[in-house]
Amino acid sequence: MIREFRGSLDYRPLTTADPIEEHRICVCVRKRPLNKKENTMKDLDVITIPSKDVVMVHEPKQKVDLTRYLENQTFRFDYAFDDTATNEMVYRFTARPLVETIFERGMATCFAYGQTGSGKTHTMGGDFSGKNQDCSKGVYALAARDVFLMLKKPNYKKLDLQVLATFFEIYSGKVGGNSEF
C-alpha cells in the first residue's frame, strides 16, 4: 500500500540547487535509512519525504470487515531531508547560514534532538564504521572548517578574533558532557 501511494506522489526533494532561505528560527527533520536489523526484520519504511519541506507518516490500517487502507499524516518543516541526504547537504541548509550569522555579529545555536538511534551523532559527529569515526563529515567539523576559513579573510583576520565553543549533552533531563574549547 505504501509503495503504491508513493508511486502516485510528485517528488520534489531538496537539492543543492535550491536556494537557502533566511530564517530566524529554522526547524528541520532528517529521515534516517532503515538499519540492518530493521531490514532483516522486514520492518516497513513508513516515512516519505515528497518535497523539501514535507514529511509524511504512513499508518497501514484494517477495518473490521478486513478492508485494508492507508492513513497518512503530513507535517511541514523549514527543510525535510530524505534518507539519501548527506551530512554536507544538511550542513549547507542548517548550520552554514549560522556561521555567516556569527560573523555578522549575530548569535547562533544549532542542536540535534531526537530519540536514541535516530541519527543525531551521525549528523553532528560524522560517519561511523564500527569503532571508527570520520568526524570530518559531521556538522561540527564542517562548521569549524568554515569558521576558520572565514577567520582567514582579510576583513576578519585583522580583528584578531578568537574561537570558543561549548558542547553540552542533555540526557534524561541531566546536563553532562560539558566541554569547552
Q: Look up the domain containing 129 and give its range.
A: 86-153
> Which residues are annotated binding-site positions for ATP?
114-121
**Predicted structure pTM score:** 0.86
* Listed residues 34, 63, 84: the one ending a domain: 84
Residues 100 and 78 in one domain: no
- Same domain as 72, residue 8: yes
Whether residue 128 is contained in a domain is answered as: yes
Sign of the torsion angle spanned by Cα atoms 123, 129, 135, 136:
negative
Q: Which parts are annotated binding residues?
A: 114-121
| One pLDDT digit (tens) per residue for the chain, 181 residues | 999 999 999 999 999 999 999 999 999 999 999 989 999 999 999 999 999 999 999 999 999 999 999 999 999 999 999 999 999 999 999 999 999 999 999 999 999 999 988 999 899 999 877 777 788 899 999 999 999 999 999 999 888 888 888 878 777 888 876 665 5
Whole-angstrom distance, CA of residue 122 vs CA of residue 133: 9
Please indicate, yes or no, whether residues 77 and 91 belong to a single structural domain of this protein: no
